Structure formats: structure tokens, C-alpha cells
Amino acid sequence: MSVNHVKRAFRYRFRPTRVQAAELSRTFGCVRKVYNLALGSRTEAWARQERVTYNQTSAMLTAWKKTEELAYLNDVSSVPLQQTLRHLQSAFTNFLAKRARYPRFKSRKKSRASAEYTSNAFRFRDGRLTLAKMSEPLDIVWSRPLPEGARPTTVTVSQDSAGRWFVSLLCGDPSAKPLPATGQAVGVDVGLDHLLTFSTGEKIANPKHERPDRTRLAKAQRSLARKAKGEGANRRRARLKVAKIHARIADRRRDGLHKLTTRLVRENQTIVIEDLTVRNMVRNRTLARAISDAAWAQFRDLLEYKAAWYGREVVAVDRFFPSSKLCSHCGSLREKLPLSVRTWTCDCGTIHDRDVNAAKNLLAAGLAVSACGAGVRPQRRTPGGQSATKHEPSQREP
């Protein structure tokens, strides 16, 4: 892949003025409305065994704008409305290819509030970004510089549940190029006591990002539960307090995982992991909180797209491979090995640390797969439970 073709999304916080916040909130509402209207029309056609294309939904949008009921759609930029129709088209394409579930309607309370602007709907000059329908540039907190000479091709504005505003700039990044080849390979076993265990014997402690805020979060959630349901100011403030705590936990977790995955990609040419079905594992009510806090799926996601950027290989070994019960020294297989057993002695006399042994076996299996070309590297998982092709790295944030 040419470095000129690698695009990265650089995300920044920004502080909108009152006028800008109102304009963006209107845009978010219109984007959600158009998406739901188009999805409703396509769902009705689907029931009649008919297909509706993007061009047809675009024509519908033009007709909707001419009605008295939906005339307010003319008050916001037309580009985010067209982009949400393209996103809906992509959702149906993935559904028809059995890579995702049937598209769902967007909820005002639960869906992500965002709007996407293409190059004809924003102006970026001298580090100042001005969106369509706005007279003033956004007050962006430039926490890091964009790549030298970078020109954004797409801008996505969003607001999270904690009320924070973000702008994501998609642009080419010359630094996202293959790193010098290294002969290093490592097996990585994930866990709860230790977040990661490497085949080298190194263990990374589980930071348990949720634990420091657990008491505060529980108190805030109890306060929210006592508020009368509805749109009252008290409930809104209580909900915002809960969201801010969750956001702080998620920020710490994401930062830690970025540092770990970047280190692994820089130091190793081949990284072998286990293909875990985290979606099924969190059904264990005893371990659900700990597994969710460890964020194994997010770790794999970050690792895979960074490896694609920098010319590394990630091998996922089948989840049924008995990595823990197999002796990495002599190859003998134990019949049973309860989770409570952290160290065990093989008949050959080798004393194994359960996690280190598993990482060594994963490495051996992954290298065999890579060398032989066997097709046991599973495809990426999707929310719908269907296998899917790997996401393009150009759609990822660093």
C-alpha cells in the first residue's frame, strides 16, 4: 500500500460558541431524521421484496425538503444529510453481504450524535476550520499537530454522552508507513489477573481502570435512578454526571491500550493472539464487569489496524486451540486444567506458569500458521455476530 493512500483520523476537542452548538445540534437532529425516514422507506420496500438505491433516497430527500412538515431540513447544510444516506447505503451493503445486522433506527438518546462534512462543506486554512452554515471557525484544542502539509478530506463533528464536543479530521499521513522489518515474534495471552502475558515471560498488570471510580459511579447511578423519568433538569444533570464518570474511565482505558499496542507493533514483526468471542464471554455474570473493563476486543481492534499501517502481521489462533493445557516443552496435552490452577507440572518435569505457557503455545501455533499459509486466521467479528473482512485502516483513529 502506498503511503499516500494511508489516511488517519485525527480527533480533537473543541469548544463551540452558543450559536455553533445550536447549529450543530440542529444538524444532528436533521441527520438522524433523514436517516430514519430513509430507513423506513427502504424497510417498507424490503417488505415488498423491492430494493431502494442511494439515488432514490437522495431524490426522496429533495422531495422531503419541499414539504411544509420537513421544510426545516433546508436550514442546515445539505452535505451531512447526503452523507447519512451514503452511510445507510453502506449499512445495507454490509447487511446484504452478511457482514452486519439489518440497519436499525437512530435513537435521540442512545445513538451517537454526529455529522459528516466533505471538502465542499468546510474551509480549512492556516489551522482554522470553518463549517458550512457557520461564520466563525471552530475553537479547536490542538493537542497534537496534523501531519505537515495535510489537508483534511472529511470532517466529522460529534458530541458524546458526557456533553464533550469532538472534531475528527481525515487526512493522509506520510508517517503511517511500514517500519523496518524485524525478526521478532511474540505470543500474547490476555487475562484478568494480568492484562497481557507475553511468550517472553513478561506480564503486564491489569490496571483495572474502572475500579478507582467504582464507588463514585455507583453513587451517581443510584442518584440517577431516584430521579423521575422524563426530560426534567434534575434527571438531565444526574445522567450527565454518570456519563462523565464513564467517559473518564473510557479515556484511561483507551490511552493505556494505545500505548501497549503501539509498543507491540514497534517491537515485533509477528504478533500472535487468540481469537476470543468476548461477546459470549461477557454473558458470564460473575466475570462480565472484569472482562468489559479489560477491553480485550478493543485491544485486538487497535492492534490489527496499527499492524496494517506499519507492515506487521497479526495472527489469530482458533479459540478452541488448547493453549493452556498443552505443554510447550514436550507437547503433551492435559485432559483437565481448571481456571484456579495457575501453575502446573507436566509429566516431563517442566513446571509451567499457566499464562506464559499459553502465550508460548500461541506463538508456536501462530508461526506454523504463518509459515504454512493455513487458513485458520478468523475474519474480523461484527456486532451482528457474522464474520467480516478486516476494516480498512483509513477509517481508524490513531
Residues 145 and 201 in one domain: no
8 Å CB contact between 368 and 357? no
Residues 161 and 191 in one domain: no
Rg, Å, the chain Cα set: 24
Question: Does residue 36 form part of some domain?
Answer: yes
Q: Give me the catalytic one of 189, 210, 293, 304.
A: 189
Q: Is the pLDDT of residue 104 over 60?
A: yes
- Per DSSP, the three-state class of 165 is strand
Q: Is the pLDDT of residue 117 over 90?
A: yes
Angle between the 296-310 and 233-267 helix axes, to the nearest 10 degrees? Answer: 50
Confidence of residue 279 (pLDDT cuts 50, 70, 90): confident
45-63: average pLDDT = 94
Question: Does residue 44 form part of some domain?
Answer: yes
Question: Does residue 228 form part of some domain?
Answer: no
Q: Where are the alpha helices (DSSP H) in the chain?
A: 18-47, 54-65, 78-96, 214-226, 233-267, 278-281, 288-294, 296-310, 354-372
Q: Tell me the pLDDT of the chain averaged across its residues.
A: 88
301-320: average pLDDT = 91
Give the end of a domain, one of 151, 172, 193: 172
Q: Is the pLDDT of residue 393 over 70?
A: no
- Answer yes or no: 231 catalytic: no
Predicted pLDDT of residue 134: 94
374-393: average pLDDT = 41
pLDDT tens-digit map of 150-209: 889 999 999 999 999 999 999 988 878 888 998 899 999 999 989 999 999 999 999 999
Residues 119 and 261 in one domain: no
Residues 260 and 136 in one domain: no
Residues 191 and 320 in one domain: yes
Predicted pLDDT of residue 398: 45
Residues 367 and 390 in one domain: yes
| Residue 351 phi, psi (nearest 5) | -95, 125
Question: Does residue 370 form part of some domain?
Answer: yes
Question: Does residue 373 form part of some domain?
Answer: yes
Question: Does residue 70 form part of some domain?
Answer: yes
Q: Give me the catalytic one of 210, 274, 293, 304.
A: 274
Residues 96 and 197 in one domain: no
Percent of residues, the chain, with pLDDT higher than 70: 91
Give the end of a domain, one of 172, 197, 223: 172
Q: Is the pLDDT of residue 83 over 50?
A: yes
Q: Is the pLDDT of residue 218 over 50?
A: yes
Residue with cell 483513529: 397
Question: Does residue 51 form part of some domain?
Answer: yes
Residues 374 and 335 in one domain: yes
Predicted pLDDT of residue 395: 43
Question: Does residue 252 form part of some domain?
Answer: yes
Residues 250 and 324 in one domain: yes
Give the end of a domain, one of 145, 172, 199: 172
Predicted pLDDT of residue 336: 85
- Answer yes or no: 136 catalytic: no
- Answer yes or no: 274 catalytic: yes
330-336: average pLDDT = 84
Q: Which domain holds residue 296?
A: 185-208+243-395
Predicted pLDDT of residue 4: 55
- Based on the number of CB atoms within 10 Å of its own CB, is 40 exposed (0-12), middle (13-18) or buried (19 or more)? exposed
Number of domains in the chain: 2
Predicted pLDDT of residue 378: 41
Give pTM, 2 decimals: 0.83
Residues 160 and 267 in one domain: no
- Per DSSP, the three-state class of 34 is helix
CATH number of the domain encompassing residue 262: 3.30.420
